[in-house]
Amino acid sequence: MKKEIAKVPKDNSMVFLIIAIFVLIIDRITKYMALQTSYVKNYGLLFGLFSSPSLKWSYIFAISLVLVFLLYVFSLKDVKKNIRLQIGLVFMIAGLLGNLIDRLIYGFVIDFINIQITVFNFADASITLGALFVLFELFKRKGKRKPKEEIIRNKRRVKK
């Protein structure tokens, strides 16, 4: 029995839009609540990486825009065939947009979930979850690839 890749139904755009809006709403609500209590101003990237004072937030803003664009372009290629890759990209793009909104409004990202090694927010968790979806699918796909020689042999058999 042949096992298929998670196929995408005809049009999931509404489902993806709902997921993105849900992530953005939860992100905004939790950041609003953090503003009322305790939070960390993050001028860096995901999980506070590269938060050196010498980096201007405008550079981070530009990097975020480029990442959103690249993720969007990446989602237009062969990703259309795999729902798990699409869901991963939706989570990543929604998280990037959530942090981008903070940068536009405040000039920094509001982080408030404090664990011993870092401080982060719901958008960071969304980006991480999306990246895990994408990495899982890419590694799974890589393991299923046939060696180049086998593909060439199969093409020759078909031509005969």
Q: Residue 31 is encoded by which pair of tokens?
A: 């950041």
| Residue 148 backbone dihedrals phi, psi, to 5 degrees | -55, -40
Catalytic residue, from 11, 78, 102, 111: name it.
Answer: 111
- From the candidates 11, 27, 102, 124, which is the catalytic residue? 124
111 has catalytic annotation: yes
Pairwise CA distance, residues 38 & 44, whole Å: 18
27 is an active site residue: no
The pair of structure tokens assigned to 114 is 């404090």
Cα 114 to chain centroid, rounded: 21
Strand partners, 119: 114
Q: Which positions are annotated as active-site residues?
A: 111, 124
